[in-house]
Structure 1
Amino acid sequence: MSFTKARFSAKFDQTLLMFRQISILLLCMTLISCSGKEDKIYPKKTMITESVYSSVTIQPDSLYQAFAIVNGILDENLVEEGDPVKKGDPIAQIINNTPKLNAENARMTLELARKNYSGDATVLSGIEDELKAAELQFINDSINYNRQKKLWAQGIGSKSAFESRQLAYEISFSNLDRLQNKYKRTRNELRTLLQQAENNYRLSQINTTDFTVKSKINGKVYALHKKEGEIVTTSQPIASVGCADNFVIEMLVDEVDIVKIQKGQSVLLTLDSYPGEVFQAEVSKIYPKKDERNQTFLVEAIFEIEPKVLYPGLSGEANIIISQKKDALVIPRNYLKENDSVLTEEGFVKVNTGLSSLDSVEIKNGITSETAIFKPEE
């Protein structure tokens, strides 16, 4: 009897445990079913676009900063901000008396070098006089030497007289050769000094003309950085000049995405000054150097159709189109867990993803458009 009761008690415990498990399973299914009423969706076939986001700044094409080549004081700004300029038009005038004095000194040095080289001064004329006297002395000594040489060959005269004429001849020859070399050397030195003086004078003339800062392009003056009376140095810009009509779009792309960017890719952008409008552009240039301060690369694009009015520094946002695909199986990004699985009625299922946008992702395989999926808990 006790054995029968024990068997009955064990069977009752097993039945009670099974009932509890079934109750828990039914409760989970009920929770999933209730949750599915709100989060249950099906993948859809639609177009998906993968893009790279970037911030946008509008700048004039060929924008550059104009610098002075000489130091001085800004005498006058010859243009105003917003004025159109042509290539070669003066922008600013600088005052500095030092180069003018240097130019005058260079002119006087050039004149002296010309006189010295032309022979009007005593430098070459003195050597020329010595050279003429040495030539006459050499001719005279040469005649006497040859005459005495012939007499000595005939046995006429003394040996000491012959040797004396020979010595005088050799000395005059040596003196003439020395003066000829001196004349050539001095003339070459004076020619070099003349060329140097001419170069210095031309350089001083250039420096005096560099007091006027001129435009290098046809465009517009966008900024004047110095006021009249302020000190100007060669390391500080005086003005910013750029094209008047053509503007470029400067985009800062994160280093993670820069390898996806190529010239010719389409760009969709919005500007804060034109709310609600979307403009189209095309990538025109990729700068290869990374900005270490913000870990970004500079990318330029050109408007397909420019807005009616643009100003330097206008800001906005852009999406650079990397790729597009039609009839892609797409789900919301927040339904994807850990980038490789989705929650279905049968639990989590592994999937392979493709293109991704800001809020959607393409599913290549693992589920179909008839597979119900649920939003996973965060």
Structure 2
Amino acid sequence: MNRTFCIFFLLLNLHLSCAHKKEAIFPSRGLITESVYSSVTVQPDSLYQAYATVQGILDANLVEEGDLVSKNEAILKITNTAPRLNAENAALTYQLAKENYQGNAQLLKTLKNEIEAATLKINNDSINYYRQKNLWNQSIGSKIEYDTKYLTYQLSSNTLKQLKTKYQQTKNELSTQVKQSKNLYENATVLLKDHTIVSKIDGKVYATYKNPGELVNTMEPLATIGNATVFVLEMLVDEVDIVKIKKGQSVLVTLDAYNQKVFEASVHKIYPKKDQRNQTFTVEAYFKNHPEILYPGLSGEANIIIASKDNSLYIPKEYLIENQRVSTENGEIKIVKGIENMEYVEIVSGLEETTQIYKPD
């Protein structure tokens, strides 16, 4: 009985000593990197949505999804007869205004004829007046004849001035009408062209949203177009990390569609406006070695490399006590941290490579 008790007591002590034995490791030395985590969405570069500037009925989709397009190539056509009729009317008005201004129409011709007649009349009245004046200076003739000739001459002179003024005013008005009608014609022509939607870039059609016969307005997109070969990585970075991000930093990217294969990228743009809905900032990066096949909307994860140090002393974060101490054979000691990531932290001072540390309970 006593022998059985002793064996039980020994086993119990052995179990208790094993149960209280803590996990211990030595610090490691090597490369450690600090990074900022972000979700990733792949989008074509220069991606934009094409809108109509006029209302109407979609007459035809001139391209299909997946087609390559050139800059200024027509992609959709809208039907609306009103702009065509307006353009024709504007062209007629413009042509009439030009003819009137150039003097081909009757309006300016009539004024010119009146000025020529008034010029002949004033020449004749001037001769009569000065002849009568000479006679009057020689005391020949009557005062009534002299005054009549003078008044006739003055009336002819005023009439000629009025006709010239009227001609110039009419010409100015016609010139203004030409400019106004030209502007209306050009505007109508632009509106007519607006019924054909063209691509703004060399790229690919990624989506079309309307079928022929459907109503088109200026509020709904008709197509999505973007670069066919260059893709951008859109990353959402938390506001607590955005101050660490700089252009040119390396990015390690994994995409769900490529079984966690790592791709390299580089930060090229940081948007300064914060999204108030999710408290994040948008950061864009370009692939250094992009996959052979990419589609808009592919998602994944990214780690933006903030800092990297080789030959550093580091330990797992789970061995830290209150984020500033570690447990050793000689008790707890305070350490000074350097860069860190989600798993490891660099030890700048307070710990040696040969010091064993224990995992806290």
Q: Which amino acid aligns with 1:289?
A: K
Instruction: Measure, in 1, the Cα distance between the counterparts of 2:323 and 2:147.
Output: 114
Helix, strand or coil for the counterpart of 1:37?
coil
Q: Does 1:289 align with 2:273?
A: yes
Instruction: Measure, in 2, the Cα distance between the counterparts of 1:301 and 1:89.
Output: 29
Residue of structure 1 in register with 2:65 after alignment:
81
Relative to the length of structure 2, the TM-score reads: 0.88
Q: 1:308 to 1:154 in 2, by over 3 A?
A: same
How far apart are residue 34 of structure 1 and its match? 6.9
Residue of structure 2 in register with 1:234 after alignment:
218
Q: Select the structure of larger CA radius of gyration.
A: 1
Q: Judge which range, 92-101 or 143-152, deviates more.
A: 143-152
Q: Does 1:259 align with 2:253?
A: no
Q: Judge which range, 193-202 or 162-171, deviates more.
A: 162-171
Residue of structure 1 in register with 2:34 after alignment:
50
Please list the CA deviations of residues 171-205 of structure 1 after superposition, one character each: whole Å capped at 9, or x if unmatched.
22122112101101111110121122122222222
Q: Does 1:360 align with 2:328?
A: no
Indicate conservation of the 8 Å contact 2:22/2:359, yes or no. Answer: no
Q: Does 1:303 align with 2:287?
A: yes
Q: Judge which range, 317-326 or 198-207, deviates more.
A: 198-207
Q: Which amino acid aligns with 2:25?
A: I
Indicate conservation of the 8 Å contact 1:86/1:219, yes or no. Answer: yes
Residue of structure 1 in register with 2:166 after alignment:
182
Residue of structure 1 in register with 2:324 after alignment:
340
Residue of structure 2 in register with 1:116 after alignment:
100
How far apart are residue 133 of structure 1 and its match? 2.5
Indicate conservation of the 8 Å contact 1:67/1:239, yes or no. Answer: yes
Residue of structure 1 in register with 2:192 after alignment:
208
Instruction: Measure, in 1, the Cα distance between the counterparts of 2:329 and 2:163.
Output: 114
Helix, strand or coil for the counterpart of 2:25?
coil
Please list the CA deviations of residues 292-324 of structure 1 after superposition, one character each: whole Å capped at 9, or x if unmatched.
332222222222222121111100000011111
Q: 1:132 to 1:352 in 2, by over 3 A?
A: same
Instruction: Measure, in 1, the Cα distance between the counterparts of 2:133 and 2:333.
Output: 125
Instruction: Measure, in 2, the Cα distance between the counterparts of 1:217 and 1:169.
Output: 73
Instruction: Measure, in 1, the Cα distance between the counterparts of 2:319 and 2:20.
Output: 13
Q: Which amino acid aligns with 2:160?
A: L
Residue of structure 1 in register with 2:7 after alignment:
none
Instruction: Measure, in 1, the Cα distance between the counterparts of 2:137 and 2:25.
Output: 134
Instruction: Measure, in 2, the Cα distance between the counterparts of 1:155 and 1:219.
Output: 97
Please list the CA deviations of residues 137-166 of structure 1 after superposition, one character each: whole Å capped at 9, or x if unmatched.
221221122222222223333334333322
Q: 1:309 to 1:47 in 2, by over 3 A?
A: same
Indicate conservation of the 8 Å contact 1:116/1:190, yes or no. Answer: yes
Q: Judge which range, 124-133 or 77-86, deviates more.
A: 124-133
Q: Which amino acid aligns with 1:351?
A: I
Q: 1:36 to 1:258 in 2, by over 3 A?
A: farther
What stretches of structure 2 of length at least 5 have no aligned partner?
Answer: 1-12
* 1:88-237 alignment, distance < 5 Å: 88-237=72-221
How far apart are residue 96 of structure 1 and its match? 0.7
Q: Which amino acid aligns with 1:116?
A: N
Q: Which amino acid aligns with 1:221?
A: V
Q: Which amino acid aligns with 2:80?
A: N
How far apart are residue 340 of structure 1 and its match? 2.9
Please list the CA deviations of residues 79-133 of structure 1 after superposition, one character each: whole Å capped at 9, or x if unmatched.
1111222223221111111101111211221232123223343422332232222
Q: Which amino acid aligns with 2:252?
A: L
| Superposition RMSD in Å | 2.4
Q: 1:347 to 1:163 in 2, by over 3 A?
A: farther
Residue of structure 2 in register with 1:20 after alignment:
none
Relative to the length of structure 1, the TM-score reads: 0.84
Indicate conservation of the 8 Å contact 1:281/1:302, yes or no. Answer: yes
Instruction: Measure, in 2, the Cα distance between the counterparts of 1:352 and 1:151.
Output: 125
Helix, strand or coil for the counterpart of 2:268?
strand
Q: 1:138 to 1:306 in 2, by over 3 A?
A: same
4+ residue segments displaced more than 6 Å: 33-36
Residue of structure 2 in register with 1:63 after alignment:
47
Instruction: Measure, in 2, the Cα distance between the counterparts of 1:194 and 1:153.
Output: 54
Instruction: Measure, in 2, the Cα distance between the counterparts of 1:369 and 1:249.
Output: 40
How far apart are residue 344 of structure 1 and its match? 4.0
How far apart are residue 206 of structure 1 and its match? 2.5
How far apart are residue 223 of structure 1 and its match? 0.3
Q: How many residues align?
A: 347
How far apart are residue 52 of structure 1 and its match? 0.9
Indicate conservation of the 8 Å contact 1:36/1:374, yes or no. Answer: no
Helix, strand or coil for the counterpart of 1:217?
coil
Q: Judge which range, 316-325 or 349-358, deviates more.
A: 349-358
Instruction: Measure, in 2, the Cα distance between the counterparts of 1:291 and 1:148.
Output: 95
